[in-house]
Structure 1
Amino acid sequence: MAEERLCVLELRAVRSATPTPGGHDVLRAARAAGVPVAVVSNNSGGAIEAYLTAHGLREHVGAVVGRPWARPELMKPDPGVVLAAVRAVGGDAAACVLVGDSASDIAAARAAGVRVVGHANRSRKVVPFAVADAVVTTMADVAGALAEAARRRGRGAPAAR
């Protein structure tokens, strides 16, 4: 019952969710660069799907891996959801990168053998996130790196929105 109620509340929250600045640009830039994307979250897959659809982003995401149904012990930092995302995009863990904004994201990526970029969206996170492979303070940095990769591959720059 708790899982069902949580899913209902997460779906309701989609209506008022504030996008992470630059987050939508990252998804568009990744697609333009030919980089497959999976969204991995401790939220329900249904809420993630609803958010992506509401913001016209579903086409930019190859896979969504949400919280395992009624199995909170399998949420991040457990690496299972990260490994499921790697499989969903047909990748090799060592060739994948997780961009995360929590210590559990970093721990899950490390346990899965995935490189990790810590999104220090608050100044107090910069120092603790230094254990990540890289740290950014804005998602615009990630979008810029993806746009540069697209230019190097001859794919052109992603359209700005």
Structure 2
Amino acid sequence: MHTGQPPLLVFDLDGTLVDTAADLMATLNALLVREGHRPLPFSAVGSLVGQGARVMLERGLRANGVEVEEAVLARLFDDFLEHYSANIAAESRPFPGVLDAMDRFAAAGWRMAVCTNKMESLSRRLIGELGLTDRFHAICGGDTFTVRKPDPAHLIGTIAAAGGDPQRSVMIGDSRADILAARNAGVPVVAVTFGYSDVPVADFTPDRIIDDFAALWEAVHGVVGTGAPVSVAAIRQSPAAGPARD
């Protein structure tokens, strides 16, 4: 990676940086039960999370065989945001190892940013509640721009907001939307296996796949061409997908 602007790591939020599933599902199920519908099992989180609260609510209702009018959906969406905002960090915590990994990159001169389909206000509230705000040069949500992931402009806009350069950036995510946004933006992407995708991330051919943030350093340096070794621990090969793409 050439010299110039500081290199940048861009993290997805839900399912990548922070384990938010318990609080999101608690809010969704509270509303579903209140409206007379059945709560959804925690195992359904992969098919619900990733495109923001409104889509999560729509999918939760659809799983109950319910299609509501726009006015009703708007009311429920407001209720979802109110309940979730009040309980945003009840159970949500950074994934194991992510803070240590970020410390290592920061010490080496890397900047950090967040690019998420979660609303910016909720993203900032969550990151603030967890005491992480000062770690990021930009926090861009699903409503920060006129587009959101998988549109590459969401990622490009986040990189610009952080004072970065797409040619000196790496995306870290857990979903198809993250991988497609990065791929279409021409940005290398490292996928985590412990997020909320309901399809194995290997199916979307990210540049590297990691099972643990301890492997992030080598995985990132394996895709930015610094010559750092990329160990077996840093790349989890998927039999179904073949070798990770270089």
TM-score class, shorter? 0.7 to 0.9
Question: Is 1:45 aligned to residue 120 of structure 2?
Answer: yes
Aligned to 1:155: none
Q: SS at 2:189's partner residue?
A: strand
Question: Is 1:134 aligned to residue 237 of structure 2?
Answer: no
TM-score normalised per structure 2: 0.51
Aligned to 1:83: 156
Letter in 2 for 1:37: M
Question: Is 1:99 aligned to residue 172 of structure 2?
Answer: yes
1:77: how far off? 0.8
Larger helix fraction of residues: 1
Letter in 1 for 2:136: V
Counterpart-to-counterpart distance in 2, 1:143 and 1:57: 20
Counterpart-to-counterpart distance in 1, 2:105 and 2:163: 16
Letter in 1 for 2:170: V
**Contact 1:10-1:44 within 8 A present in 2 as well:** no
Q: SS at 2:93's partner residue?
A: coil
Aligned to 2:65: none
For residues 108-157 of structure 1, the C-alpha deviation after alignment (integer angstroms, 9 at most, x for no partner) is: 1111121101112169625314x1111111122225778xxxxxxxxxxx
Q: What stretches of structure 1 of length at least 5 have no aligned partner?
A: 147-161
Q: Which has the larger radius of gyration?
A: 2
Aligned to 2:82: 8
For residues 71-121 of structure 1, the C-alpha deviation after alignment (integer angstroms, 9 at most, x for no partner) is: 6xx221111220111101222212210000001100011111211011121
1:31: how far off? 2.1
Letter in 1 for 2:156: L
Q: Higher relative CO (CA 8 A, sep ≥ 6), structure 1 or 2?
A: 1
What do you get for the CA RMSD once the two structures are aligned?
2.8
1:144 and 1:29, CA in 2 relative to 1: closer, same or farther beyond 3 A?
farther
**Contact 1:101-1:121 within 8 A present in 2 as well:** yes
1:43 and 1:112, CA in 2 relative to 1: closer, same or farther beyond 3 A?
same
Counterpart-to-counterpart distance in 2, 1:13 and 1:114: 34
Counterpart-to-counterpart distance in 2, 1:40 and 1:113: 16
Q: What stretches of structure 2 of length at least 5 have no aligned partner?
A: 1-73, 221-246
**Contact 1:98-1:109 within 8 A present in 2 as well:** yes
Q: Percent identity?
A: 29
